[in-house]
Amino acid sequence: MIELEGLTRVYQGGRGAVRAVDGLSLTVGNSEVFGLLGPNGAGKTTAIKMMTTLSRPDAGRCLVGGFDVVREPGKIRERIGVVPQENNLERELTARENLTIYAMLHRVRDAERRIEENLRRVDLWDRRDSVVTGFSGGMQRRLLLARALLAEPSVLFLDEPSIGLDPQIRRQLWDSIRKTRIDGRTVVITTHYIEEAEALCDRVGILCRGKLVALDSPENLKRSVGECVVEFIDAEGKLVQHIHRGRGEANADAAGEHNSSVTVRKTNLEDVFIKLTGERIE
């Protein structure tokens, strides 16, 4: 379980202080898959860094598995696995060497077998003795995932895990995350792929300028802004979207527009996102 209460982090930059995370409060339950969504610079990575004991909060509280990130970071480190947004593999070492070092750092039992298992899981067993520099971006992401799962963490943090993965591998990643949930693991995931959040997350928190602007299941979030969207290209070639509470209203609107490009579709998380933050995701 994860509990955040008024979590705040301020960066001192050239142009004054930035409140990267600003009074964030939320709770993630056991074996929940929780998504953090937000535009670039919203504070997702900063929040993850605090939860994973990498950054110290400037204010507020953060408990992971009942342990405080400031007072008992060691206890948390025994229980978490992290896929960071920025690759932090040892690039001049091989895939297997990377995992071996990690296994030692985390005192993984039966390391040889676990390493093989995890490399096979992400389809990298054949490349086990290749140096990471020679891996493609997607292969490096997969190796990061294998590493994060190596010590069988009870909480898994994934900061944009599917950046640079092709659709097929991304589906495989989703499957392994779902499977991970069945094992009773808690997952916190940030993503720019709306469909990823919809496909995986039990609940989603939408972050904007460090603050939480919405927190609910994807279904409820969509319902809260309206169920249907009318979309068309106007005379100037711009995409126009109207969100409506129900299908009937939407159909009436569509008929009134007298535009051949008009379509009516169901609301997705992206519509919610745009409505709440005024920004588009990538």
Partner 1 sequence: MIELGWYPVFLKEMLHFRRKLLKLGYLFSAMVVPIIYLIAFGFGLGGSVRIDGTSYLAFLIPGLVAMSSMNNSYTWVSSTLNLSRLYFKTFQVYVQAPIAPSSIMIGEVLAGMIKGLFASALIVIVGILSAPDFRITFLFCVALLLNCFLFANMGVIVGMLTKSHEDTATYSNFFIMPMAFFAGTFFPVDKMPTLFKGVVYVLPLTHTNILIRKAGMDAEAWVSLGILAVYAALCFVCGSKLIRGYSE
Ligand X SMILES: Nc1ncnc2c1ncn2[C@@H]1O[C@H](COP(=O)(O)OP(=O)(O)OP(=O)(O)O)[C@@H](O)[C@H]1O
User: What residue ranges bind partner 1 (CB under 8 A)?
Assistant: 49, 52-56, 74, 77-78, 80, 82, 84, 86-93, 97, 101-102, 104-107
Compute, in degrees rounded to 10, the torsion defined by CA atoms 73, 79, 81, 84.
-20
Footprint (CB under 5 A) of Mg ion, residues 56-95 = 85
Report d(CA 223, CA 43) in Å as an integer.
26
46 binds ligand X (CB under 6 A): yes
The distance of closest approach from Cβ of residue 95 to partner 1 in the complex, given in angstroms and rounded to an integer, is 13
Q: Which is nearer to Mg ion, 160 or 271 (CB)?
A: 160
Among left, alpha and beta (phi > 0; psi -120 to 50; other), residue 87 is: beta
Residue 38 sits in the site that holds ligand X (CB under 6 A): yes
Strand ranges of the sheet holding 228-233, from the earlier edge strand across to the other edge: 239-244, 228-233, 263-266
Give the binding range for ligand X (CB under 6 A) out of 39-47, 133-141, 176-184, 194-202.
Answer: 39-47
Q: Which does 127 bind (CB under 5 to 8 A by kind): Mg ion, partner 1, ligand X, none?
A: none
Query: Chain centroid to CA 129: how far?
Result: 30
Residue 52 contact among Mg ion, partner 1, ligand X, none, beta carbon within 5 to 8 Å by kind: partner 1
* Number of alpha helices (DSSP H) and beta strands (DSSP E) in the chain: 10, 13
Q: Which does 226 bind (CB under 5 to 8 A by kind): ligand X, partner 1, Mg ion, none?
A: none
Does residue 180 contact residue 149 with C-beta atoms inside 8 Å?
Answer: yes
Interacting stretch for ligand X, rule CB under 6 A, among 44-52, 124-132, 228-236, 270-278? 44-52
Q: Is 4 within 8 Å of 215 (Cβ atoms)?
A: no
Residue 110 interacts, among ligand X, Mg ion, partner 1, none and using kind-specific CB cut-offs from 5 to 8 Å, with: none
Q: What is the CA radius of gyration of the chain?
A: 21
Token pair recorded at residue 138:
């997607």
Residue 229: count of CB within 10 angstroms of its CB: 19
List 155's β-bridge partners, or say none: 80, 186
Window 84-103: contact mask with ligand X (x via CB under 6 A): -x------------------
Chosen from ligand X, Mg ion, partner 1, none, partner binding at 59 (C-beta under 5 to 8 Å by type): none
Residue nearer to partner 1 on the CB measure, 87 or 176: 87
Strand duo 203-208 + 33-37: pairing: parallel
**20 interacts with ligand X by CB under 6 A:** yes
139 binds, options ligand X, partner 1, Mg ion, none, Cβ within 5 to 8 A by partner type: none
Binding at 251: pick from ligand X, Mg ion, partner 1, none (beta carbon under 5-8 Å per type):
none
What the block records as the tokens of 117 is 């298992």
Residues 6+ away with beta carbon under 8 Å from 126: none
Give the residues lining the site for ligand X (CB under 6 A): 11, 13, 18, 20, 38, 40-46, 85
